[in-house]
Chain A
Amino acid sequence: MSNDVFVVVEHLKGKIGDITFEMLGKAREIADALGGKLNAVLIGDALLAAQLGKADAVLHIGEPMLANFTPIAHKNALAELIRARAPRVVMIANTSMGMDLAASVSVSLDLPLVAYCKNVRVEDGKIIATAQLYGGKLLADAEATGDQVIVSILAGSFSADAGRGAGAPVVEQVSVTTNDGGVRFKQLIEPEAADVDITKQEILVSVGRGIQNADNLPLVEELAAALGGALSASRPIVDNGWLPKSRQVGKSGQTVKPKMYFMVGISGAPEHLEGMRDAGLIIAINTDANAPIFDVAHYGITADLFDVVPALTEKIKSQ
């Protein structure tokens, strides 16, 4: 085993996601603390290596079959590389792609995995990962019982700027055996055009499962209208078919940064926070005083939305 740290680079449509730079910045600290090297693992698109200057080296896997992400082929490639180089820490994004990689590499190589990490640190030579559990209600400090560990990192945990290093990294070509393992990439499907672009709104009123059913939506619609803003939502509202997908904020929806984000009956699950934590002003109404959203919001209201929302709409209209 070495003291090296691997960061698995995530990219889509020729663009490296911010989460990769977040991981590179943090991994730099970890590698320095361990006295090891920081290696970025880039599968596919060789041109992207130039952006990975924060790493000591880029391990590039360029087999044509791996040009588009596929769960098993990429897992096989990554597992082969990790087995050969035995890094101390492997960082993988806890994203849609990373979820398929981290857990399968864990079983394939019999390595421990700490998922949903918000932080990673070195303490007395040990790697301690802080994971977010129970919809953001609790954190866990977890430690691998062996020497090596895989951690999957939640987007928004670290500074992306800290991982954008100048300079050209050394690129080492690595070849691996390829095997699609029964999963073949077919195509990317773009989202349908939106009636309202929530990423361009200055004021968003965002509604969550606390609204109970679709018949209650006009209540929040009216508030949004009174504020001159638009309506957005958490995932369950969209999954239930009450609002179109284009209104969803979060990990698998849109990332928004309005001047104000007014949250009605949303708990503040990590997947929702991924899409809105940088809003200028966040105000949340929730009946549960312990809802995780109150750790992120600037102002919190522990109350029933069915009391507060109509009162607020009226007050704003009467201004």
Chain B
Amino acid sequence: MNIIVCIRQVPDLIEELELNDDSTGLNREYLKLGVNEFDDWALEQALLLKEQHGGTVTCLALDTPDVDNTLFTCYAKGADKAIKIEGDFANGATSHQAAKLFADAIKPLPHDLILTGVQSVEDLDGQVGVLLATYLGVPHVSVITGVQVNSRVAVVRKEYAGGLLAEFEVDLPAVLGIQAAKQAPRYAPISKVRAMMKEKKIETSISRDGTVDAGIAIRRLFKPENGKHAEMIEGDADAVAARVVEILKERGLVK
């Protein structure tokens, strides 16, 4: 079974996000990027399926800063092939653009199953997995926490609210938006990533069809208004604890 995993680098949310001059996007100059957390789960799901059924895992990513490191990490975890899609992504890419680029790169590759993270923090114009499936004209199911493959179909479990699951049968090839795999994403030691940098090569792919327009314009990006902001409790741990106990007492929540 040939599995493709689409991986995106997104801003690290621990860092302060700075806006560009006209507040229509992020100032990307010093932006720290990391793998979209759900894409890591998608890779884990792919590796688990490969362990079970054999086949190959190919990781695809747009050529964003530090992506090589990410792709060598994929190799270190057990991916067979890593491909970087070349282009100008200095200002990021919309979900529609990313999906179209992934679709163009995937078409010539052998593929039975395509996995993406269910969503990313940058999906202003929709989730890449579903967009990608529609560009490819193959079925999709997102918010997946379980995948079993039996010859040409996959039986998948999609999460609804409250822990309820829906089970679907999906004809392959298909795109699945992965929420979580059976086990947490495996860890690749730095030494192994370094070894992969010497041993493996990242292939490149250039989109012939170009990209698409998501059809939306950002008027402005802004921080949520602070009107409802919490009343902050200051002081050392003991002072904070004392104040919290006071608040709980006022409300009759502790005796």
Contacts and interface: CB of A to CB of B under 8 A. Distances in A.
Interface string A296-319: 111111110001101110111001
A244 B251 CA distance: 30
Interface stretch (A50-58, A132-140, A156-164): A132-140
Interface string A117-150: 0000000000010010111111111111110010
Interface in B3-18: 11, 13-14, 16-17
Instruction: State the majority secondary structure of interface residues on B.
Output: mixed
B233 A141 contact: no
Nearest to A187: B167
B195 interface: no
Interface string B217-234: 111111110101111110
A80 interface: no
B206 interface: no
A296 B220 CA distance: 22
B216 A311 contact: no
Nearest to A306: B237
B245 interface: yes
Interface string B237-255: 1101110110110010111
A312 B246 CA distance: 11
Contact of B223 (A116, A137, A181): A137
| Contact-residue bracket for chain A | 35 or more
Contacts of A255: 161-162
Given A103-B126, A115-B123, A255-B162, A307 B131 contact: no
Interface in A260-302: 260, 267, 280-284, 288, 290, 292, 294-302
A319 B140 CA distance: 56
Instruction: State the majority secondary structure of interface residues on A.
Output: mixed
A284 B247 CA distance: 13
Interface stretch (A21-29, A41-49, A105-113): A105-113
Given A239-B180, A239-B184, A283-B247, A134 B167 contact: no
Interface of A: 12, 17, 68-72, 95-97, 99-100, 102-104, 106-108, 110-116, 128, 131, 133-146, 149, 152, 181-192, 203, 227, 239-241, 245-246, 248, 251-255, 259-260, 267, 280-284, 288, 290, 292, 294-303, 307-308, 310-312, 314-316, 319
26 contacts: A71-B141, A96-B143, A96-B159, A103-B126, A104-B131, A112-B215, A113-B214, A114-B124, A115-B124, A116-B124, A134-B122, A143-B217, A183-B141, A186-B169, A191-B165, A227-B254, A245-B163, A253-B161, A254-B163, A267-B13, A295-B224, A299-B244, A307-B236, A311-B237, A311-B240, A315-B244
Question: What 10 A-B pairs come out closest when comparing CB atoms?
Answer: A112-B215, A191-B163, A300-B230, A182-B171, A103-B126, A103-B130, A107-B134, A182-B139, A311-B237, A297-B230
Interface of B: 11, 13-14, 16-17, 41, 95-96, 99, 118-119, 121-127, 130-131, 133-135, 138-143, 155, 157-171, 174, 177, 179-180, 183-184, 213-224, 226, 228-233, 236-238, 240-242, 244-245, 247-248, 251, 253-255
